[in-house]
Amino acid sequence: MHVPPIPTLHAADPELAALVEGEAQRQHDVLRMIASENYVSRTVLEATGTVLTNKYSEGYPGKRYYEGQLFIDQIEQLAIDRAKALFGVDHANVQPYSGSPANLAVYLAFAQPGDPVMGLSLPMGGHLTHGWGVSATGAWFRPVRYEVRREDGRIDLDQVRDLARKEQPKIMIAGGTAIPRTIDFPAFAEIAREVGAVLVADIAHIAGLIAGGAHPSPVGYADVITTTTHKTLRGPRGAMIMTTAEHAKAVDKAVFPGLQGGPHNHTTAGIAVALKEASTPDFSRYAHQIVANAKALAAALTERGFDLVTGGTDNHLILIDLTNKGIGGKPVARALDRAGIETNYNTVPYDQRKPFDPSGLRIGTPALTTRGLTEAQMPQIAAWMSDAVDAATKDDEATLNTIAGQVREMLAAYPMPGWEPTR
């Protein structure tokens, strides 16, 4: 059953309650390997389900447009102070509703429509909001896109420097959604300084690794840092923008009143809880275990003939090119889902297939690690994935069903925050 229990919801709306319970059990019964997903703690769940959702709080602590902010101001300030302490930054804004609005706020703060903005190309592992054409960021600004090298899948910093010198971007973004290697923040900072660009580190995927000391920090190199608060940070679905003191006012003004009204106070409380959890030695061990699991899984997949972009991983994320398997990412992702292994299909650098039917598969280890899995289980997961890919090429549903049963059996030994068996 869902934990915390939801008896009032069961009584008032059993149809919806059944769907919530179904999703909770589904999350328990499958290997959740989407790199951007995780499990929050029961404490975070409780914080986000409080009466804080009832309150409007436009403005910032001590400077609100609504009365009745005695406790809300303290909650938001607590989240701010914890973010500043955890990441070692001058200023933190915890109000953005999600990562995309956080990135939009940065554009609003530091660029004008039509200005050149520079980010990693989406097919190379960047994010929509880093200037891709279908995003407002690509439509309202002039995107300058850097790439990775064909030969090794790594970011081509020589190209980044040449493009920056030529295009003189107002904003440079380091980060993305499918980057399996350590981001060289000092190198990006050197280039940004040379051309006078504001360097933005988008650490949405790696924030928890940075907080736990398992990935180098952009603090001291990036002028602005954006991040979601879920993924490896293991908080609720929200976002933060962290800056130097110099840029604090511009960012705050861009978030409110520039883009948003009242913050979601229940989410702010959940962020405060997650930041407290992330400051503990246990979380540091967790962050390092995420990376250890990803490296072990990458090695096991390589042994089974999978072609990994960049040849492996330094963080939580693995990007697989399935071209040598003779099947696309979408049918493999769907077959794995039927086998109890939750992933997402993804483009790979220089992909010859279409974005909605790409060659790649993106996987990650944050949620597995939260459940308590270690390097010892990674070879078995690689074996299941290999068998599922083979089954997908043969329309072998029986094998997929068998794997799903084996996955459920293994996961029964690993508790999930948010669900437990009915007694």
- Known binding-site residue numbers: 122, 126-128, 246
Which one of the listed residues 64, 237, 353, 408 is annotated catalytic? 237
Q: Which residues contribute to the annotated binding site for (6S)-5,6,7,8-tetrahydrofolate?
A: 122, 126-128, 246
N-to-C CA span, the chain: 9
Which one of the listed residues 43, 56, 285, 408 is annotated catalytic? 56
Nearest Cα residue to 105 out of 310, 7, 233, 243 = 243
Which one of the listed residues 129, 177, 226, 228 is annotated catalytic? 228
Distances (CA, A) of 250 to 105, 184, 242, 243, 245: 9, 26, 12, 10, 10
Which one of the listed residues 32, 82, 145, 231 is annotated catalytic? 231
Nearest Cα residue to 243 out of 108, 104, 90 = 90
Mark whether 58 is an active-site residue: yes
Which one of the listed residues 76, 202, 277, 351 is annotated catalytic? 202
Mark whether 202 is an active-site residue: yes
Q: Annotate 152-206 with DSSP letters as a single string.
A: T--B-HHHHHHHHHHH--SEEEE--SS--S---HHHHHHHHHHHTPEEEEE-TTT
Q: Which residue type, as a one-letter code, is found at position 88?
A: G
Spatial contact of 9 and 21, defined as CB atoms under 8 Å apart: no
Spatial contact of 137 and 130, defined as CB atoms under 8 Å apart: yes
Pinpoint the alpha helices (H) of 279-365.
281-303, 329-338
For residue 58, count CB atoms less than 10 angstroms from its CB and return exposed for 0-12, middle for 13-18, buried for 19 or more: middle
Contacts of 395 (CB under 8 A, 6+ apart): none
Angstrom distance (rounded) from CA 295 to CA 226: 26
Which one of the listed residues 37, 46, 58, 375 is annotated catalytic? 58
Q: Which two tokens stand for residue 215?
A: 């990935």
Q: Which residues are catalytic?
A: 56, 58, 202, 228, 231, 237
